[in-house]
Structure formats: structure tokens, C-alpha cells
Amino acid sequence: MTTALSSAQTLKSAVGPVAYFLLRPVRFAKEYQRADFRPDLVAGLTVGVILLPQAVAFSLIAELPPEMGLYAAIVGAIFGALWGSSNQNHTGPANAISLLVLSSLQTAYVPGSPEFIVAAGLLAVMAGVFQLVLGVARLGILVNFVSHSVIVGFTSGAGLLIVLKQLGPLLGITVGGDNILGDMQQLALNLPQAHLPTALVGIGVIILLVVARRVNPKFPAALAAMILASGVVFLFHLEQDGVAVIGSLPRNLPPLADLPLFDLRFIRNLSAGALAVGAIGLVETLAIGRSIATQTNQRLDNNQEFVGQGMANIFTGLFSGYPVAGSFSRSAVNFSAGARTPMASLFSALVVVVAMFFLAPMATYLPVTALAGVLVVTGFRVIDRIEIVRIWQGTRGDAIIMLVTFLGTLFLHIETAVLMGILLSLVLYLLRTSTPRVHAVLPDRSYRHFHYQPDKPACPQLTIIDILGDLYFGAVSHVEEAILAQQREHPEQRFLLMRMHNVNHCDFSGIHMLESLVRGYRDRGGDVFMVRVSYQVMQVMQATTFDTFLGEKNFLDEDGAISYVFQHVLDPAVCIYECPVRVFKECQNLPKRLISTALPLEQDGVADMASQVTPRALWELLHANGAAAQPLIVDVREPREFHRGHIPGSELLPLPELLTSQFEWPPGREIIFVCRSGRRSQRAAHWLQAQGHQDVKVLQGGILAWESAHLLEAVD
């Protein structure tokens, strides 16, 4: 598999993408193996038996002559196989596409008229050009933006519409309403005038198809039913009693059509329909191919499939056919019959050619009601009730898309319904990507994973945010507002840790939003940190100098992020004296001495910070001056911290005692506060300054800095 893929990539780079796609038949011929011939032949014969009656029946859905269905079956199968990507996908007339063709044409042309027939061929060419351009431009990814709900809604609506539209021919009733409601009203009014022989033949065909499917699903029941119905008409001369028949079929290969390829009037009338036919045809075909590929492990090329469908439609239109697409039923039969390569589709086209020459006279007695019976059964089968229930019970957006497309297919122009469904899919995609989930997360009980736990008490100093989406221009406003809302809800949380592993894309709007957040937190005396920034996002941050703006030390390793923030950023005075919860693993062994008169956090402003003295300067001060001139060193840590190591000559006065007791401070003597990292010292200094003592300093960096300078003396 790897060698084949690398060879294909080498060939594509050598001849160019356009030539590579168009040379697909050459590659297929070179790769074909003799061992695949017999399985492909058997599968082709099996599918061909089904394709023949379907081609005639589906052309009647589009209200086109039966020969156009046969021509489309031959040409579509050949070109779809040679230029497509899937080994088992079968291209040709399809029920939903046929209904879409009728809806697209009847708004401008009278069904059955010469212009209507010409327009059907031109519609195939236009849809094919649209598909081919998408393929050679390598835009196969666009099909991913069409929701599966659109396809389910459309096929279900089309299936029901086919059933309703075939009730008139099935019962021998003329129906000509302006819409489906009008058709049903006329059908109900004219039901007493139903033609009994016609109804009996059509209903008999339906019964035969249902029974045969239950007895032996692989039996070609449609072909057998049509042959049997033709025999009944011939034996009892029912055509003379008013049973409508197809008439003679052509006994020639598909002829080249005379199409108005550059007639702007036709092109203008058919443009919307061509887009709808092209889009739905591609989505249906790729959906079929993917479902089969999951069982065969074949790697599909969306762009090559676009080219294959484009070529099939272009040449089908040029050779007197009408638009084609992948068929669910025939592709499934092709796969189950053992098809290994696209050669099976070529054999199925050959079966139709042979049948046209040898079975054409039988069509003189083929009753229209028999075809209507086949289509009624087919219409019911394409309504995927299980999938409808699953979508309805799933997300609300998918259910709405399916319902809108379904109702639009029934009551609007079908191309309008399809385009509405596609537009709703794009809107849903934009809504989902522009409103990514932004959660404040907390560690679980094992302290190994972070989850959204709104009922769990949060840390009063640190917010941890998980962003589940990209930071692009459409989403930054939502993300920023979500973070600011969290900030308003917890104004005491001055520090923000952003988990960025789900952010795969960030544009300049995202960078601008991040800069604004960082400024806001720093203005409040806090800061912002990030973990697991992806390579792509980091590239953008470096290109826009955001990495310098945030600071290298603020990009943390995920495993040590909480420990770093806890040890070097958070205020231990808050943890010990003001916070009653133990959120992080690092909190578990922390002493808790809650006091009600502690200095409020919001008063701990940067502007009021006390003067600082470096560890080296303090050491020199302690060793150079006399005892009377030496400052008073006050250690505001907890006793167990003090006994692990402290500055010689310092006095222990834990912060709670400092804040809650009255002391006589020596007049005229400088006071230097010491703690672990300097944050408790600042709070003590701020408190003492508020009491009127101005000659107060703190040890810069605390005992950690003193230890780093190799000045710490352990106590025995």
C-alpha cells in the first residue's frame, strides 16, 4: 500500500495534477490483473440485469424518454468507472438525481417537449463541468462541508416524492397539479376513475418485488417483474384495453446530441439546477464510496472521484443522456457480487448494450404501471428510517438541517431545497467553529487529568482555561468574552493558565485577542501562562512576536506547569491563610491557618510594593556592620519552614501572628521581612507600612533566592 501511494505521488508530481487525474484510465489498464477478470465479469452481469430496468424507470421519474435512461446507463457507467476512484461505485441514472433533474427543468420547460429533452442533456454537461473543475482544482475537501443530514433529508424526501408521483401512473390516473399537494388532491378526487387492469398489473408488480426480496434478496426481481408484466400485456392484449405501454426502444449505440452549449438563455435557466445536481451527485457518490471503502480498506481520492463524476456527466450529456451519479443500490449489489475493480461497471454497461439490441422489441408491451410499481418500491427503500431516527435523536442542528431539506424537497423546488440544506450545513459549521467551548477546568481526584467541574470549588488565585477550538477571526470574540466572564465571576483570580492543545489554528485576530488578555491580567497585577501550544500556533506567535510579548518563562511544560505556578507565582499567604480548599496536588500538604483579618488580596497592589534588598546585599550588610546598625530580620514563614533553614539572626514571626497581634517594633531600626519567595513578605511589609512604619524592606526572591546564592545555613 505504501509503495503504491508513493508511486502515485511521484507520478502526480511528474505529470502535473490535471494530467494525473485525466490519465486515470491508463493507470487502471496498467494495474489490472487477470485474476480480477472473472469476479468482475460476474458482478458486471449481476449489476447489468438490475441496471436495465432501473435506467428505464428512472428516466420516467425525470419525465424523459426511456432511451435517455439507457444511454445514461451506458455512458455513465463507462466514464464513471474509468475516471473514478472507487473500485465498486457504480455510476448511472439514480432516483434522487432524476427527481432533481425534473424539478430543475420543469420551471423553465414543458416536460416532454424538445427543449426539455435538450435542456436535460445540457444540464448534465454543465453539472459535469462544475464537478470536473472542482476535481482538477483539488477541491474535493469541499464535500466535507455538506452535512450528512442534507443527504438523508434529501433522499428521504425524494423517495417519498417518487412514491407519491408514481401513484397516478400505477393506478392509471391522470394527475397534473401545480405541486405535490395539488397532485394528492387530484389523485384523491380521481381515485374512483382508476383503471382496474392498470392498477392490478402495477400492484401485482409491487407484491412480486416485496415477496421476492424476502425470499431471495439477490434475485433480479425488478427485471423478472417487468418481463412478466410485459408477457401479461402481450397475452391478454391489455394495451388495447387502455394499459399504457413504453413503446419501442432504440437498437443503436448512444448517438452524439446536438446541444446548445453556448446558448446563454439555456445556461442562465439551468445554472442553479446544475449546481444542485453537481453538488448532490458528488456528495451521494462519495458517501457510497466511503461506506464501501470502510469494508474494503480502499483509500479513496475525493478529487479523482470528482473528475470521474464530471467526465461521466459531460459525456453522458454529449451522448444523448441526462445527469448521472453514484447509485446506492447498484453499488451495494456490485460489492456483494464480488466486484474487485471498475471493470465490473464496464461489463454492466455492456449488458445494457446487448439488451438494447436483443430485448428492445419487448418494450413494446412493457406497461408503464410496472415501472411505476418498481419505482414505488425503490422510493420506499431509499427512505432510511433508522438513520432518520438516529439524526433526530442526535444534535438539534443536524435534526433541523434534515427536516428543512426534507420539507423543502417535498414542497419547494428540489434544487432550492438542496441548496438550502447545504447553506444550513455551512451556517451550522460556522456557528460551531465560531463558538468553541471554553471551560474553566480543575484536576480530577488523581491530579493527572483536567475536567470541567463547575460544582467543584476553584482556586482563588488561578484560573485554568481549556479552549476546545481554533482562535480565528470568527471565534476570538466568543473566546475572549468567555474568559472575561470567568474573570468577572472570580475577580480574585489574577492568574490565568491556558491549555492550548486543542487550538490548531490561530490567526492575527487570535494573537490580538491574546495580547489584550495578557495586558488585562497584568494590569490587575497578575499574568498569563500557556501549556501545550502546537507547532503551527507557535509559528504564528513567533512571526507576530507574541512569544516575546508573553515571555519565554510563561510557556510552561504541562507536567510541571501547576508546580511551577504554585511555587513561583501564587501567593502562599492566600493559600495558607485565606483559601479553605485544596484544589491541586501541591495544596495537599500545605498548612491551613485561616484568619479573618489577613490583608485582602486585591489590596496587594504592585504600586505599593515595598523596597527590596538582594540576597548578596543583605549578606554583606549583616557581615559588615555592627550589631547596633544591623537590620531586624523577620521571617514570616511557618515554623516548619523556618526550621528547615533560615537566615542567621532572623526572628520567626509567622504572618498570621503579625497580622493579628500587637508588637513593639524597635524605633529607628530597619526591618527586613523574609519569606519563601517574597510574596508573604510584601504583604507583611504592606501591612506594617499601613501602621506607620516606613523603614521596611523585603528580601528579593525570599529564601529561594538566598538559597540559590548559596547563603542558606541549615539548622541542626
Q: Does residue 587 lie within any of the structural domains?
A: no
Q: What is the pLDDT of residue 601?
A: 42
Q: Map residue 527 onto helix, strand or coil.
A: strand
| Whole-angstrom distance, CA of residue 396 vs CA of residue 375 | 32
The series of mean pLDDT values per 10 residues for the chain, 716 residues long, is 51 66 92 93 86 87 92 97 94 90 90 94 97 89 76 83 87 77 84 92 93 85 85 91 83 92 93 90 83 80 93 97 90 84 96 85 82 85 87 89 89 77 84 89 88 89 93 93 93 92 94 95 91 95 95 92 88 78 84 61 51 90 69 89 87 86 83 86 86 88 86 61
Query: Among residues 378, 404, 428, which one ends one of the domains?
Result: 428
Q: Which residues pair with 467 in a beta bridge?
A: 438
One domain for residues 525 and 457: yes
Q: Which three cell numbers stand for residue 325?
A: 451519479
What local confidence, expressed as pLDDT, does residue 498 receive?
96
Domain for residue 178, yes or no? yes
Residue 41 resides in a domain: yes
> Is the Cβ–Cβ distance between 135 and 21 less than 8 Å?
yes
The grid coordinates of residue 593 equal: 491557618
Q: Which CATH number does the domain housing residue 517 bear?
A: 3.30.750.24
Looking at the fold, whether 535 and 421 belong to one and the same domain comes out as no
Distance, CA of 445 to CA of 441 (rounded, Å): 13
Distances in Å between the Cα of 236 and the Cα atoms of 125, 200, 222 are 43, 13, 21
Same domain, 680 and 693: yes
Half-sphere exposure (Cβ direction) of 249: Cα atoms closer than 13 Å: 32
What grid cell was written down for 381? 427503500
Helix axes 148-171, 396-411, angle to 10 degrees: 30
C-alpha 90/C-alpha 112 separation (Å) is: 28
Question: Do 215 and 350 have their domain in common?
Answer: yes
pTM of the model: 0.64
Q: What pLDDT does 598 receive? A: 46
d(CA 110, CA 113): 6
353 and 469 assigned to the same domain: no
Q: Which residues have CB under 8 Å from 309's CB, separation 6+?
A: 80, 84, 91, 128, 131, 135, 281, 282, 285, 324, 325, 326
Specify if 579 maps to a domain: no
379 contacts 163 by C-beta, under 8 angstroms: yes
Residues 441 and 518 in one domain: yes
- On whether residue 592 sits in a domain, the answer given is no
Tell me if 596 is assigned to some domain: no
Same domain as 443, residue 396: no
Distance CA 231, CA 225 (A): 10
51 with 11, same domain: the answer is no
What's residue 29's pLDDT?
Answer: 93
Considering its fold, how many domains does the chain have in total?
A: 4
Task: Tell me, yes or no, if 675 is annotated catalytic.
Answer: yes
Distance CA 406, CA 598 (A): 65
Contact 299, 1 (CB under 8 A): yes
- Return the pLDDT at 445: 86
Q: Which of the residues 459, 506, 575, 675 is marked catalytic?
A: 675
Whether residue 498 sits in one domain with residue 409:
no
Q: Give the residue numbers spanning the domain of 9.
A: 1-31
Cβ neighbours of residue 217 closer than 8 Å, sequence gap 6 or more: none
CB 124 within 8 A of CB 325: no
Same domain, 305 and 395: yes
The domain boundary residue, chosen from 570, 587, 622? 570
